[in-house]
Amino acid sequence: MTQERIIKIEAYYRDPGLVERIAANFRRFWLDIGWMHMEAEENGTCSIYMSIYDRSKLGNLDLSIITLSKMVDIDFVEELEGARYNKFEIEYNKSKKYEWGVVSE
């Protein structure tokens, strides 16, 4: 059985590289990201909710969370127990699809 953890990250948002640095932290430990949800606020802070899991069963979940909490721009990392996540639904009237740089119908 794959163990999944849902975490909340409070960080200071300077640039889009923040999301890349967070994802690279988990790739370094061979962990998978199930989903990620980010909310940025006007004062420069952001909340990131994400699901991480160890598909390879290497046991690196705890180490990756500790390492992430030591990164620059990260205020804290909180592991949420008993959290439930429902996929969001988006309603729209019309869409435009791009394939290889060209609008396709």
Quote the CA–CA distance of 24 and 43 in Å, as a whole number: 25
Q: 4-82: what CATH class?
A: alpha beta
CB-based contact 53:3 (threshold 8 Å): yes
Q: Which amino acid is at 21?
A: R
Beta partners for residue 14, in sequence order: none
Task: Give the model confidence (pLDDT) of 25-75 as tens digits.
Answer: 999 999 999 999 888 888 889 999 999 988 888 888 889 999 999 998 999
pTM (whole model) above 0.85? no
- Measure the N-to-C terminal CA separation of the chain; round to a whole number of Å: 42
Query: Where exactly are the structural domains of the chain?
Result: 4-82
Phi-psi region of 18 (alpha: psi -120 to 50; beta: other; left: phi over 0): alpha
